[in-house]
Structure 1
Amino acid sequence: MKHDFSDVVPENFYTEDGHINLEALVNREEHLYALSIAQRALAGIEEQLTSSIGGSDDWKYRANAAHKRWTWLIARIRERLSIFKAREKKRQIIGFVE
């Protein structure tokens, strides 16, 4: 059974062209959900690229472009998650000092 992520996904999670709207992600949960989607999409593209020997040049070009975009998006989401982690660590340290 699939989990319903409607409580996590922001209203404008996807752009008009179907991409994840990075600017709409606000909290850690939204970023983790987006990361999960992006990693699954990238894995699917990588599987298709490795199993598709006779694909057309146009298909390969589009698949490689999609691979680059998902890779870029994953890197941006991970950067943002590291910022959340650093902020949380800073709050914990400040909490121990007080």
Structure 2
Amino acid sequence: MEELKKSLDFINNEFEAVKLQNTTLVATNKKLVESNDVLARKVAALEQYSRANNLEIRGVPVTQGEGCLEIVKQLGDAIGCTVQTEDIDTAHRVPPHN
């Protein structure tokens, strides 16, 4: 009978330890999910901010030896908006989304 009591006490102690560990893991997971949500919102905001000065031009056929800066300047001239090279940080083609 004493052996059975010792065995039950051991199992109970292990069970309580697992319960405590589970409670801790659930709390940690909740914090990580919240932190992940905050970071995802920050990344989205940063991505949006990084596109604040972007201009996307579509429908310009690719030509051999083209210069994207020149295309932008020519389009600016066509609509009566002078574009200087200094006005452009970078200009490049973006692959189409399929």
Give the TM interval when normalised to the shorter protein: 0.3 to 0.5
TM-score w.r.t. structure 2 length?
0.42
TM-score w.r.t. structure 1 length?
0.42
Q: Which has the higher helix share?
A: 1
User: RCO higher in 1 or 2 (8 Å CA, sep ≥ 6)?
Assistant: 1
